[in-house]
Amino acid sequence: MIDSLTGAFNRRYFDEQLKDAFTLTQRESKEGIHTQVGMLIFDLDKFKSVNDRFTHAEGDRVLKKFVESMKSMIREEDVFARLGGEEFGLLIRESHKLSTEEIAHMVYRYRKIISENVFTGPVGGEKTEPVTTSVGLVLYPNGAVIEDISDFFSYADQALYRAKYNGRNQVVEFMGLDSDGQPQFSKVDVSPK
C-alpha cells in the first residue's frame, strides 16, 4: 500500500481506490444522484535535472519533502499516492461538494505551498531553487462520455502533459469532448486570494 521511499500510498493502492470511487460515482449518476469524483496528477517540473545536477540523494530528499508538504494539506477523505518517478496522483472524493472555484483554489494552494517549502540545490550548498509542479485535472462526470477508468486516467494524464507542454508550473483541466470527439483542455487560472 505504501511507497517505501516517500511514505505516500503506492500506485496499486491508488488504482484500487480510484476504481472504487469511479464505479460508485458512475452507479450513483445512473441512479440520478448528483455526485462527482476528481483526480489530479502532479509532476515535479524539470525533476530529471535535480538528479543530474545534485545527485539522486537530493532527488530523493525533494520527493520526500514534496510528499510531506502534500500530506499536511490534503483532505482526510482524499487519497494521495506516488504513481511513479516524480509523478503523483490525488483522488478527490465527492468533488461535487466543492465548487469549481474551490477546487481551483485548492490546487493553487497546493502548488503555492510546494513552491514555498520544497527547494533543491547543491548538497551542502546554500543556493536553492523552488520546486514547481505541473498538474492535470479531470472531474467525472463533466459532460464528456467517459466509459471506463482508463479513459478517466488518460484525460488527466493528457491534461498534465498539456500543462508541461505549455510551459510547466500550471494546472490544465480536461473540459470534455468537442463535437468531433476531440478532448478539450483549459488552463486553470485563479487569483491568489
Residue 167, phi-psi category: left (phi > 0), alpha (psi -120 to 50), beta (remainder): left
Question: Over 70: is that where the pLDDT of 72 sits?
Answer: yes
Structure confidence at residue 120 (pLDDT): 82
For 100-126, what is each residue's pLDDT tens digit? 789 889 999 999 889 888 888 765 656
State yes or no: pLDDT of 8 exceeds 90. Answer: yes
Please say if the pLDDT value at position 181 is more than 90: no
What are 64's three cell numbers? 520526500
* pLDDT score of 38 more than 70: yes
Q: Could you tell me the pTM of the whole model? A: 0.92
pLDDT of residue 170: 93
pLDDT at residue number 123: 57
Look at residue 192 and tell me whether its pLDDT is greater than 60: no
Q: Which long-range contacts (CB under 8 A, 24 or more apart) does 184-192 make?
A: 185/158, 185/159, 187/163, 188/104, 188/107, 188/137, 189/104, 190/101, 190/104, 190/105, 190/107, 190/108, 192/108, 192/112
- Total number of residues shown for the chain: 193
Q: How far is residue 39's CA from residue 91's CA, in Å, rounded to a whole number?
A: 5
The enclosing H or E element of 38 equals strand 37-44
Q: What is the pLDDT of residue 193?
A: 52
Q: Please, how many CA atoms are within 13 Å of residue 97, restricted to the half-sphere of its CB? A: 6
Q: Which pLDDT band holds residue 30 (cuts at 50, 70, 90)?
A: confident
- DSSP letters for 152-188: HHHHHHHHHHHHHHTTSSSEEEEEEE-TTS-EEEEE-
Q: Which pLDDT belongs to residue 141?
A: 86
**Among 31, 68, 86, 126, the one annotated catalytic:** 86
Query: Averaged over 30-42, what is the pLDDT?
Result: 92
Active site residue 58: no
Q: Which of 103, 88, 98 is nearest to 134 (CA)?
A: 88
Q: Which three cell numbers stand for residue 133?
A: 509542479
**50 or 137: which carries more pLDDT confidence?**
137
Listed residue (33, 179, 50) closest to 119, CA to CA: 50
Q: pLDDT class for 127, splitting at 50, 70, 90?
A: low
Residue 124 backbone phi and psi in degrees, to 5: 80, -5
What pLDDT digit, counting tens, does each position of 128-173 carry? 788 999 999 999 987 777 888 999 999 999 999 999 999 999 999 9
In this prediction, what percent of the chain has a pLDDT beyond 70?
95
The per-residue pLDDT for 155 is 95
Residue 65 CB burial class (10 angstroms; 0-12, 13-18, ≥19): middle
C-alpha–C-alpha distance, residues 158 and 179, integer Å? 19
Q: How many CB atoms lie within 10 A of CB 120?
A: 22
